[in-house]
Structure 1
């Protein structure tokens, strides 16, 4: 099975582009969504996260995301430890998911493919980019976040220029109509390469 990675910085509009691929019949796996689900579902992950962060990691049996975010936001070491617990579980869940798909290719959306040096796991990588001011506006609107917080997140991620260098395809998502057309073109290109 051909696995295509889709990545991009916060607010670049990855979800919107994924919807285009879904509408073309491409199975889509969103790593972040699955990670959150597994953090709530898996007893092993729960036990390890409570050991790492304390009882407050879960509230009424559900993952306490604001608490975890506050703990890892400025603590790279804790983030690395948390990822070491969650990522292997997501990876095996993804493998099982892929084995059930029946398509020319699948897309796995993951925000930090390059940051975690995971590009070897993909046959092709698509990076979604957008102007920084537009990204900031989108995230403020979506998450009700402060401009300062969004800029901090952007500065902690690899720059678009770096991601573009390492990608097979780039979709510029400043204008929705144009971005959808680019996604369609990328889809056709991938199918051509697979043949």
Structure 2
């Protein structure tokens, strides 16, 4: 949360195919630092020595390839597939380390008026509680599915539905959001983002 001269911390989330990454790129083009939680989580799992040891302890030495020392994602995915207890275990190990990484990143970018944290599972992981405001990027499911199939032709409808089932419903995300960006192809996204950008700068009481 914002304190003293700390930057505002704004979360941005949305269901798969909503366009949250596109929105984040536009904010970044405006000079706003963006923390991509999903990408950073993968980095932390690969390079944080404490987390690596915790994962090996919980899931065995096969969690990392012996030759390359790279995270064995296929093995780990198979371990947690359709196993709620193992998913919870993995999350309990990974999330605290990602939270530490995020805190360090915020400190390193403390001179900015506001920061953006992009995460697909912002609500599900509970990290929304430590942010000042939340943006939800919204699009109809039919539009999202079409985007995903164009972007990831290897995904089947069953694959897409399985991912959606693991995410909070669109209705719940919208209800919890402080701000909504409509990326439904009937409204321009950039003017909405520009308006939010000015609003966040005003809230922070600063300018770039």
Divergent runs of 4+, >6 A: none
1:191 maps to 2:201: yes
Corresponding position of 1:52: 58
Distance in 1, Cα, partners of 2:161 & 2:200: 33
**Structure 2 CA distance for partners of 1:176 and 1:39, relative to 1, 3 Å:** farther
SS in 2 for 1:106: strand
Corresponding position of 1:150: 160
Uncovered stretches (5+) of structure 2, i.e. residues with no partner: 1-6
Uncovered stretches (5+) of structure 1, i.e. residues with no partner: none
Normalised to the residue count of structure 1, the TM-score between the two structures is 0.92
Higher helix share: 1
Corresponding position of 2:90: 82
TM-superposed deviation, 1:176: 8.9
SS in 1 for 2:35: strand
Corresponding position of 2:170: 160
Q: Which moved more, 1:174-183 or 1:7-16?
A: 174-183
Q: How many residues align?
A: 195
Highest Rg: 1 or 2? 2
Q: Which moved more, 1:107-116 or 1:19-28?
A: 107-116
Corresponding position of 1:117: 126
Distance in 2, Cα, partners of 1:165 & 1:38: 31
Alignment of 1:4-153 (within 5 A): 4-59=10-65, 60-101=68-109, 102-143=111-152, 144-153=154-163
**Structure 2 CA distance for partners of 1:44 and 1:176, relative to 1, 3 Å:** farther
What does the per-residue CA deviation read over 1:172-195, in whole Å, with 9 as the maximum and x for residues that have no partner? 112297112211111122222222
Distance in 1, Cα, partners of 2:186 & 2:37: 23
Provide the alpha-carbon RMSD of the alignment. Answer: 1.7
What does the per-residue CA deviation read over 1:133-168, in whole Å, with 9 as the maximum and x for residues that have no partner? 222233233342111111111122111111111111
